[in-house]
Amino acid sequence: MTEDIYSFCPICGSHCSLVVTVKDGKAVDVKGAGESGFQVTTCSIRKGEGHILGILNAPDRLKYPLKRKGARGEGKWERITWDEALDTMSRTIMDIREKYGPEYFAILLGEPKGMEFHFAQRFGTAYGTPNVFTPGCYCGWQTGMATQMTFGPVFLWARPESKPKIIMIWGSNPAHVGGTMIGLTRNDIIRSVAGGCKLVVVDPRNIEIWPEKGMRASDADHWLKLRPNSDGILAMGMIKVIIEEELYQKEFVRDWCVGFEELCAEIKNFTLEDVEKYSWIPKEQVQEVARLYATNVPGVIGWGNALENHGRSLQQCRAIAILRALTANVKTPWGGYAELIPAQYGPPGKFIFGGAVKERAREFPRSPERAISDFKLGLKSAFIPTQMLIKTLLEGKPYVPKAAWVILNNPLLTFPDSKATKRAFLKLEHIFVNEVFHTPMTEIADLVLPAAWMMEHDTCSFWPGWLGKIKSSPKIVAPPGEAWSDMKIVNELHCSLPHPFGESGIVFLHGRGHGLHRGPDLQRPPGCLYRPV
């Protein structure tokens, strides 16, 4: 029997609409579903399609709960039941809570896929730990906060309503990830370039732009092969040219900008020779690109995640945002606009922090005072940089957590300084990991819990949140062995906790019409995080 099932790709932030062909219970083909009406900017190398089939059909998937047998890193495991795994975790974290306090249990989360991210956050609130670590320090916060500090809103979205005169791809690889972090898609770029739009690529690598035509960064009007992490220096150099040559939009700056005089004073502190020395871009090319961008309005800068992965990210992103302001590329077709329509559903924070959960957790409130983070403001948005955990474990200040639960994450591969990260994690007494395959992180874990992947369970996803959409992701094939979705793992662990934590009224209601109904097998006690209605 063959069936086509519509869903969304979970691989990158574009989350393209797909149709998956299932034959006799096995996924055999994946294609972009352009007729769905949702975004389809499938990557040229078919990364999404290849990964989906590869993961769903991989023979080396984790299938059963495993308990470490022997020393950490030996790779010796004992298969156990889910009841034993949940009982072990439940007893461990409740013992930690009683002896030390809930803050001694840390939860590490990765990129949101479905609702597992928020189930884990809500569990953290119910249990009482403020130490829930998320990947914002690597993705989203730097560009978002730079935009907010410069323009007011967190996101300034590109609008493909007319032809831009120039596109700058800055620290992004849209041919492979679908688009940039301002909503400029791969297809938008290709269509604009084909229509005669000027193209500038800022990237050390000769990235693909239009693979079907063999077009790379070297074929753009300008390819700025900058020194890695010198993006802010390059942006300030362009700002210097635009101001000193009076190429900025004078009326816009006069009417809408604050701090222009201070900016003029700042650019006197360096020369274009300094910019060339530290960015590796010839000053003549800096001048030419600055002039090209400033004199071709509307223009759009499609920046990417590469700008966010080092210590100067925020200020570098602010410099690029200022470029947009100086040239009045704000609220223009393509320049971006601020009037994002609020999503017609409750904010995730209400699910994470609010209602009965907050009431039941009042004994050990999830408050900044109990967290190991110095970033108290971020805690109000359930954000702690991951490196705060590593720093705390290595330095022993203000205290050393006893256990960590890793979900949607592989810290030994993705955190900076893998050696230091491993040393830090080995200081934990207990490590629990939800995973699809064995990874460097599972190698040092005490319990490994087999996770069902997207398309192996019913869920919905709102990510990227700024799109204001909820996408249904139905179960397409069965997970291997006894693998559970991360949501179910979180839910079942919560239900296994003793009263009052296992009966704290944490209920996430859903029904068939929302793509989340899982059938009578999930008729759970009132303490569960979700249940059919």
Rounded CA gap, 434 and 448, in Å?
A: 6
Q: Are 378 and 135 in contact (CB under 8 A)?
A: no
Domain end point (choices 294, 326, 358): 326
For residue 428, is it within any domain?
A: yes
In this structure, the answer to whether residues 48 and 112 fall within a common structural domain is: no
Rounded CA gap, 43 and 172, in Å?
A: 13
> How many helices (H) does the chain have, and how many strands (E)?
20, 20
Other Cβ atoms within 10 Å of 37 Cβ, number: 8
Rounded to a whole number of angstroms, the distance between the first and last alpha carbons of the chain is 31
In this structure, the answer to whether residues 255 and 401 fall within a common structural domain is: no
For residue 374, is it within any domain?
A: yes
In this structure, the answer to whether residues 322 and 353 fall within a common structural domain is: no
Domain end point (choices 56, 74, 101): 56
In three-state secondary structure terms, 362 is coil
For residue 228, is it within any domain?
A: yes
For residue 335, is it within any domain?
A: no
> CATH number of the domain that 282 lies in?
3.40.228.10
Q: CA-CA-CA-CA torsion for 132, 138, 143, 149, nearest 10 degrees?
A: 50
> CATH number of the domain that 378 lies in?
3.40.50.740
For residue 472, is it within any domain?
A: no
In three-state secondary structure terms, 153 is coil
pLDDT of residue 80: 98
In this structure, the answer to whether residues 385 and 508 fall within a common structural domain is: yes
In this structure, the answer to whether residues 353 and 441 fall within a common structural domain is: yes
Instruction: Look at residues 33, 96, 164, 20 and name the one whose alpha carbon lies nearest to residue 453.
Output: 20
Please, what are the averages of pLDDT over each run of 10 residues along the chain (533 residues)?
89 80 93 74 64 92 96 93 97 96 94 86 89 85 84 70 87 83 82 93 95 92 96 98 97 94 97 98 98 94 88 90 93 59 64 64 68 75 83 94 96 92 96 97 97 92 69 92 96 85 44 29 32 29
Which secondary structure element, helix H or strand E, spans residue 46, and what is its range? none
In this structure, the answer to whether residues 387 and 520 fall within a common structural domain is: yes
For residue 338, is it within any domain?
A: no
pLDDT of residue 341: 55
In this structure, the answer to whether residues 358 and 499 fall within a common structural domain is: yes
Rounded CA gap, 119 and 149, in Å?
A: 31
For residue 131, is it within any domain?
A: yes
In this structure, the answer to whether residues 402 and 503 fall within a common structural domain is: yes
Q: Are 293 and 323 in contact (CB under 8 A)?
A: yes
In this structure, the answer to whether residues 37 and 70 fall within a common structural domain is: no
In this structure, the answer to whether residues 244 and 309 fall within a common structural domain is: yes
Dmax (CA) for the chain in angstroms is 71
What total number of domains does the chain contain?
3
| DSSP annotation of 468 | -
Rounded CA gap, 106 and 424, in Å?
A: 13
In this structure, the answer to whether residues 219 and 266 fall within a common structural domain is: yes
Domain extent, residue 45, equals 2-56
For residue 339, is it within any domain?
A: no
User: How many CA atoms within 13 Å lie on the side-chain side of 405?
Assistant: 28
Burial of 25 (0-12, 13-18, 19+ CB in 10 A): exposed
Rounded CA gap, 37 and 32, in Å?
A: 11
> CATH number of the domain that 21 lies in?
2.20.25.90
In this structure, the answer to whether residues 182 and 280 fall within a common structural domain is: yes
**Cα dihedral sign, 443-444-448-452:** negative
Give me 159's structure tokens.
Answer: 């609008």
User: How many CA atoms within 13 Å lie on the side-chain side of 498?
Assistant: 8
